[in-house]
Amino acid sequence: MITDTHAHVFWKDFDGDREAVLARARAEGVERMIIVGTTPETSRQCFELCDGQPGLYPTAGVHPHDAEGLSAGILDEIEELCRRPDCVAVGETGLDYFKEYSPARDQRRGFRWHLELARELDKPVIVHCRDANQDTLELLREVPGVRGVMHCYSMGADELAPYLELGMHISFSGSVTYPRNEDNREAARRVPADRILVETDCPFLAPQGKRGKRNEPAYVKLTLEHIAAERETSADEFARQTSLNAARLFGLDGAATD
Ligand SMILES: [Zn+2]
């Protein structure tokens, strides 16, 4: 079994063939997908999509791109969704100083709010970090006791240690397969076996071989095979390990039975 720990299957890119996309994923062994919300509206869509679908698990949060002027009403909506028993994580949240679509100050405020909610609810947090390493670490340290995942980890091996010390899981997307990302591959070789996850972040970041196309959960298999080879383990064993890690982190049913 393969687990895609970060998929935005609610995206409009999938409106024409969403059921076929999910069927293709399952045919490739991708039996579990975490469907990650980025705004109140898309978070609600995640819950609707996952309702009654075995192996699909929703989250709720506000992406740093959408963190500008977060109102009490928006935060209330996110909190209400996060409190639902079927919600497996808080986020996506985090910091993105590369694009900086929202002011950095608003991003930090939003991130901190999600961290505190995750701690209160004892649910993992899904963290997006781009060009914001120092502030991300600082905020994670300000809210100790939070567990979660550095999603689409895009940094190198040198930046790994503090996140591992904080207890975070590290998830790799298709970008780990790109020829120029050797630093990121080195990180993927070094993450301890019980802390590593794989994801698509679809519809973005299709792995090498599918680059330039819309990404979809079925393609997480290519990323998984690539990292397994880098780590000198079999794809089957790496699929088993990363699915077990995901099941433990997100509290997915049947974790022990595989
Ligand atoms: Zn995302």
Q: 50-101, pLDDT tens digit by residue?
A: 999 999 999 999 999 999 989 999 999 999 999 999 999 999 999 999 988 8
Predicted TM-score (pTM) of the model is 0.96
Strand partners, 58: 35
The pLDDT confidence band at residue 257, using thresholds 50, 70 and 90, is: very low
pLDDT tens-digit readout, 111-139: 999 999 999 999 999 999 999 999 999 99
Can you give the pLDDT at residue 253? Answer: 74
Can you give the pLDDT at residue 254? Answer: 54
On average, the pLDDT of the chain sits at 96
Give the Å distance between the CA of 258 and the centre of ligand 1: 26
Give the Å distance between the CA of 207 and the centre of ligand 1: 15
Spell out the residues 6+ positions from residue 65 whose beta carbon is closer than 8 angstroms to its own.
38, 96, 99, 101, 102
Token pair listed for 216: 């979809």
Q: What is the mean pLDDT of residues 10-34?
A: 96
Give the Å distance between the CA of 120 and the centre of ligand 1: 23
Give the Å distance between the CA of 67 and the centre of ligand 1: 14
Give the Å distance between the CA of 218 and the centre of ligand 1: 16
